[in-house]
Amino acid sequence: MSKRIFITATNTDIGKTYTTKKLMQTYTKMGLKVGVIKPIETGVADEAQDGEALLELLKQCNPLLWHLDVEDVVPITYALPAAPFVASKNKPLDLALILEKIEFMEASCDVLLIEGAGGLYVPIDSKTMMIDLIRKLDAVALLVTHCSLGCINDTLLSHKALESYGISHAIAFNCREEDVSFAEVSEPYFSHAKIDVMKVDSDIEKIAAALYNL
């Protein structure tokens, strides 16, 4: 089995796909064969946009997987842009299908990146939240968080949730151009709490190494 790393976030539109792509490139530069899967994508009317972007980069990073189709990267899609529970009308999670795609890909990779949908408590079906899927897949996690006002609360809530589930994880801060106040209004607390501030754009090699060693 390859190293399984689940990329989650404090909410939607935080930068999971962006971070996943940077990790794919970083592990490839480290000489590791990389794989990627986004088990569930919602809001798919014509094409799975995240899945297509991940597939395109995957073929560049790992030629052993050049023959894959988008259905191999995103096995489950729904048209409604909502939580899978709502988008699927509470269809039970097809874990067997996800595991089938994962096991097939793991034959050709050293590191498998698994991108979640939304945050940790996004409901997949009536019995499964996204955080449950991390544990079902026996993965370590990367929590991608934002750098705007409110990131302390959002980050700590998800951090505590992962701890309560016993899921080994690292935290990455996806700071954007407008987050100029982060160093003054939020970062001092993370330093006080001994939470290492690793930023997606400047510390991706450090993030990749930390995850691989979890």
Q: How confident is the model at residue 31 (pLDDT cuts 50, 70, 90)?
A: very high
- Quick: pLDDT tens for 58-98: 999 999 999 999 999 999 999 999 999 999 999 999 999 99
Structure confidence at residue 192 (pLDDT): 97
The per-residue pLDDT for range 101-154, each reduced to its tens digit, is 999 999 999 999 999 999 999 999 999 999 999 999 999 999 999 999 999 999
Q: What is the torsion angle, in degrees rounded to the nearest 10, for the CA atoms of residue 87, residue 157, residue 164 and residue 15?
A: 50
With the CA atoms of 212, 74, 144 and 60 taken in that order, what torsion angle do they form, in degrees rounded to the nearest 10? 60
pTM of the predicted model as reported, rounded to 2 decimal places: 0.97
CATH superfamily of 3-212: P-loop containing nucleotide triphosphate hydrolases (3.40.50.300)
Q: What percent of the chain has pLDDT over 90?
A: 98
Which residue, among 127, 122, 124, 103, has the nearest Cα to 114 in the 3D structure?
103
Structure tokens at 142: 């990367």
Catalytic residue positions, numbered = 38
CB 90 within 8 A of CB 71: no
Instruction: Give the CA distances from residue 163 to residues 39, 70, 112, 135, 160, in Å, rounded to whole numbers and listed in that order.
Output: 23, 33, 22, 12, 5
Q: Average pLDDT of 158-166? A: 98
- In the chain, what is the straight-line distance between the N-terminal and C-terminal CA atoms, in Å? 15
Query: Taking the mean position of all CA atoms in its chain, how far away is CA 163?
Result: 17
Three-state DSSP class for residue 129: strand
Which helix (H) or strand (E) element contains residue 8?
strand 3-9
Query: Does the pLDDT at position 1 exceed 80?
Result: no
pLDDT given for residue 67 in this prediction = 93
pLDDT exceeds cutoff 90 at 38 = yes
Q: How far apart are CA 51 and CA 62, in angstroms?
A: 16
Segment 23-27 shows an average pLDDT of 98
Distance of CA 128 to the CA centre of its chain: 17
Q: Residue 46: is its pLDDT beyond 90?
A: no
Domain boundaries defined on the chain: 3-212
Asked whether 73 and 105 are in contact (CB, 8 A), the reply is no
Q: What angle do CA 155, 157, 158 make, to 5 degrees?
A: 70
